[in-house]
Chains A and B, each alone.
Chain A
C-alpha cells in the first residue's frame, strides 16, 4: 500500500452500536489525525496523535476515542453511536505534529440511524 488507507469506505449503523473506523499509513509519519466533515462546516479535528503511544483531544472529541499502539495504525472508536455522528470521517498524517503538510486518507462515510 502507499499512503493512507481507511476502512470501511462507508457504513450504515444503528444508534447505540459500537463502531471502529480503521486508519493505516505506510509513510512512517509520526503524527496522525481524525477529522469529521459535515456539509457547510469546515473539517473539525476529533483526536490526534503526535507520536506512537500518545494521543490528544481536538475540537470535538466527545463520543469518540482513539489509540496509537504503533506508528502505522490509528483507529477511531464510537462507543455508542448517535445520529449526530453521521458524517464523513477523514484520517490524516504528517511527518511531525507541527507545520508539516497533512496527507489525507480517502474517508469513511458513516450514517447513524
Chain B
C-alpha cells in the first residue's frame, strides 16, 4: 500500500529552527509537495521537490532523498504566524497526490 508518515505534533519556540520529517512509500514518484494549513483554512503551497537535495525559499527550505523515501521541511526564525499544520504529499505514478495526516506545529513565545 501507499503510506506517508509524519509526526502528529511538534512544539518549538519563537525565533528558533524546526525540522518536520516525512517518510513515504508510494507506487511511483513524481515529486513531493509541502503545504501549510492554518486551522479552519485551505492548504496553501509551500514547496515542490522532484530531485534530491535542498530547495531554499526564504525562511523555509525543503529537502528530498528519493533513495531513502525521505523529506524534511526546515523552518527558520520561527514566528507565531507559523503555527499551523504542515502537510506532506507525494505524487504517485498516476499523478495523484497521496497525503500525510499532517504535522501540527505549535510555536511558543
Answer whether A and B are interacting partners.
yes
Asked whether A99 lies within 8 Å of B91 as measured between CB atoms, the reply is yes
Residue ranges of B at the interface with A (Cβ–Cβ < 8 Å): 4, 30-31, 33, 41-45, 48, 50, 87, 89, 91, 95-102
Of the candidates B50, B95, B100, the one having the most CB atoms from chain A within 10 angstroms of its own CB is B95
Closest CB in chain B relative to A59 CB, distance in Å: 8
- Known contacts A99-B50, A101-B33, A101-B48, A42 near B42 by CB under 8 Å: no
Asked whether A43 lies within 8 Å of B42 as measured between CB atoms, the reply is no
Residue ranges of A at the interface with B (Cβ–Cβ < 8 Å): 40-45, 48, 58-59, 90, 97-99, 101-107
Partner of A90, one of B30, B43, B91: B43
Asked whether A45 lies within 8 Å of B41 as measured between CB atoms, the reply is no
Residues of B within 8 A of A44 (CB): 99
Asked whether A107 lies within 8 Å of B101 as measured between CB atoms, the reply is no
Q: Name 30 interchain pairs, CB-CB below 8 A, sorted by A.
A: A40-B101, A41-B101, A42-B87, A42-B89, A42-B99, A42-B100, A42-B101, A42-B102, A43-B43, A43-B87, A43-B89, A43-B97, A43-B99, A45-B96, A48-B96, A59-B96, A90-B42, A90-B43, A98-B30, A99-B48, A99-B50, A99-B95, A101-B33, A102-B33, A102-B45, A103-B45, A104-B43, A105-B42, A106-B41, A107-B41
